[in-house]
């Protein structure tokens, strides 16, 4: 690569810096010209030319050659004497001085419409230093003609750039006229060619060689199918997850928190008012029988997605990122988030008479009031809406994580229960009506361990109008 460095971007000291920086990044050579600073394009019409003195530009050449470290680095000295109209003698005088100063090549520039001017210069040239030309304005000259005159390098300076401009304008014109992308297919390269130029294959090879191979991605599945009449008229025209809280819906806030924790693969199960659930990002599955089926039926509408590591979420909860990240750190086959603040708040919550997913665990915290939840996991013994409040040791918030093995257990238990047609499933009268708490209890009943991750608050549930008001009051942004 040869870099056009104008006049070296200043005096000889600037040239020193230019050579150091350009050589450092692997440039093979630079061309510097005897225009004064700031430089004006040689081919602009009607501009009065002033050139640096011969001594000044020769000093730049000496500085450049003394600075270079790679013996193969090339310094090309370009004279603008013919461009400025100062005549052939001046061009030869300047070129000889630059060659004597150590230039590896002399670029003789001309804006004449034919090559005659540079060919004359070549015939008069009396130094061993090689000659370079830029035949932009005399494009009819053939390389054989230049070579016969002793020219060693011809730079095609801007033809590719100008072709790109013409190509882009042409494609834009077609798109404007035809208004569909297929109209320009024959005018453009396939995407694979773009990938080749930017080195995608090399990137993939590097990823395969150097990146960890055992990293597990997490897929989130959000159940948003149900209809909750207690929230009418708020949800008359939308599902609960689209309720607005200070400019963002519940689902938008969930997606933001998931994304901030690195979870970008999201599936949403739609049902009630499904046509309104069109946020970009998630993949959607529909439970059109939402009014007669439960959460488990909604979850298994998306059974093809129940592969690998899966995060399960109710669509009506808001939660701190720290709560989610604590769950994502779990290495258990199946784990749920349990809020131990239930113990302190049950006197306030019980009179509300709304269903609560209560849990009984093996080793609940011994303290009865606020505490710092540890990362030590507990084991779930019992879960459901019929757990007696005096027995309960916490509340399931509607967030669970299944490892690849845990997801396989979940599918296995589901299909076992499915064979028991019209039989009760924990608190549900049949599998179709089962809640997620019923499925978690069935996992336990089938001999599988469900771990509990302790938290103390840090989340909100939007289940009633009072919950909605509280969310508006407590959420600041």
> What is the SS3 assignment for 268?
strand
Taking only the tens place, the pLDDT of each residue in 138-165 is: 999 999 999 999 999 999 999 999 999 9
**pLDDT of residue 137 exceeding 70:** yes
> Which residue pairs from 373-377 have beta carbons closer than 8 angstroms and sit at least 24 positions apart in sequence?
373/340, 373/454, 373/455, 373/456, 374/454, 375/326, 375/329, 376/454, 377/330, 377/332, 377/335, 377/451, 377/452, 377/453, 377/454
- Residue 154 is predicted with a pLDDT of 96
pLDDT at 214: 57
C-alpha neighbours within 13 Å on the C-beta side of residue 366: 0
Say how far residue 354 (Cα) sits from the centre of its chain: 42
Side-chain half-sphere CA neighbours of 48 within 13 A: 0
Residue 274's CATH number:
3.90.550.10
Read off the pLDDT band of 211 (50, 70, 90).
confident
**Backbone φ, ψ for residue 258 (5° rounding):** -60, -50
- For the question of whether the overall pTM of this predicted structure is more than 0.85, the answer is no
Look at residue 42 in the predicted model and tell me its pLDDT. 61
- Write out pLDDT tens, residues 37-67: 776 666 655 566 789 999 999 999 999 999 9
**192 and 236 part of one domain:** no
What average pLDDT score do residues 367-378 get? Answer: 64
What total number of domains does the chain contain? 3
Inform me whether the pLDDT recorded for 354 exceeds 80. no
Note whether 229 and 123 are same-domain residues: no
Over 80: is that where the pLDDT of 426 sits?
yes
pLDDT tens column, 296-326 = 999 999 999 999 999 999 999 999 999 999 9
| Domain ranges, residue 224 | 219-474
For tokens 């086959």, the residue is 333
| 111 and 225 fall within a common domain | no
- CATH code for the domain of 152: 3.20.20.60
How confident is the model at residue 213, as a pLDDT? 63
Give the residue from 210, 240, 275 where a domain finishes.
210
The mean pLDDT of 347-366, rounded to a whole number, is 77
Residues 392 and 360 in one domain: yes
Q: What is the pLDDT of residues 78-118, one digit of tens each?
A: 999 999 999 999 999 999 999 999 999 999 999 999 999 99
Pick the range with the lowest mean pLDDT from 20-24, 172-176, 447-451, 460-464.
460-464
Question: Which of 18, 14, 16 has the alpha carbon at shortest distance from 4?
Answer: 18
């Amino acid at each position: 690569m040869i870099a056009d460095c104008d006049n070296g971007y200043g005096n000889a000291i600037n040239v020193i810096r230019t050579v150091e920086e350009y050589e450092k990044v692997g440039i093979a050579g630079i061309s510097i010209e005897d225009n004064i600073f700031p430089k004006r394009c040689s081919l602009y019409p009607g501009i009065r030319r002033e050139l640096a003195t011969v001594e000044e530009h020769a000093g730049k050449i000496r500085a450049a050659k003394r600075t270079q470290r790679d013996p193969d680095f090339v310094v090309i000295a370009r004279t603008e004497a013919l461009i400025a109209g100062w005549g052939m003698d001046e061009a030869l005088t300047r070129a000889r001085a630059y060659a004597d100063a150590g230039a590896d090549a002399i670029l003789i520039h001309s804006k004449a419409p034919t090559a005659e001017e540079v060919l004359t210069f070549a015939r008069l040239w009396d130094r061993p230093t090689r000659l370079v030309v830029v035949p932009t304005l005399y494009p009819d000259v053939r390389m054989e003609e230049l070579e016969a005159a002793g020219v060693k390098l011809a730079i095609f300076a801007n033809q590719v750039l100008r072709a790109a401009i013409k190509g882009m304008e042409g494609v834009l014109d077609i798109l404007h006229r035809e208004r569909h992308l297929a109209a320009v297919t024959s005018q453009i390269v396939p995407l694979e060619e773009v990938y080749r130029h930017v080195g995608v294959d090399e990137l993939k090879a590097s990823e395969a060689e150097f990146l960890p191979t055992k990293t597990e991605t997490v897929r989130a599945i959000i159940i948003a199918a149900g209809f909750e009449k207690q929230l009418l008229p708020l949800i008359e025209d939308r599902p609960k997850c689209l309720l607005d809280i200070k400019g963002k819906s519940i689902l938008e806030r969930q997606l933001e928190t998931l994304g901030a924790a690195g979870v970008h693969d999201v599936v949403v199960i739609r049902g009630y008012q499904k046509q309104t659930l069109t946020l970009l990002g998630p993949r959607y599955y529909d439970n059109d029988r939402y009014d007669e089926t439960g959460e488990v039926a909604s979850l298994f509408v998306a059974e093809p997605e129940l592969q690998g590591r899966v995060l399960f979420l109710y669509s009506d909860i808001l939660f701190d990122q720290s709560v989610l990240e604590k769950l994502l750190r779990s290495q258990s086959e199946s784990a749920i988030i349990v809020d131990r603040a239930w113990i302190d708040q049950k006197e306030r919550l019980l009179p509300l008479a709304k269903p609560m997913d209560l849990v009984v665990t093996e080793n609940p915290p011994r303290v009865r009031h606020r505490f710092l939840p540890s990362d030590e996991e507990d084991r779930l013994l019992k879960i459901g809406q019929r757990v007696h409040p005096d027995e309960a040791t916490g509340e399931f918030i509607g967030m669970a994580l299944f490892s690849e093995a845990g997801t396989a257990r979940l599918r296995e238990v589901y299909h076992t229960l499915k064979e028991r047609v019209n039989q009760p499933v924990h608190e549900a009268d049949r599998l179709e009506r089962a809640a997620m708490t019923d499925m978690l209890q069935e996992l336990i009943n089938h001999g599988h361990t469900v771990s509990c991750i302790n938290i103390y608050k840090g989340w909100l549930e939007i289940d009633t109008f009072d919950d909605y008001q509280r969310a508006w009051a407590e959420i600041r942004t």
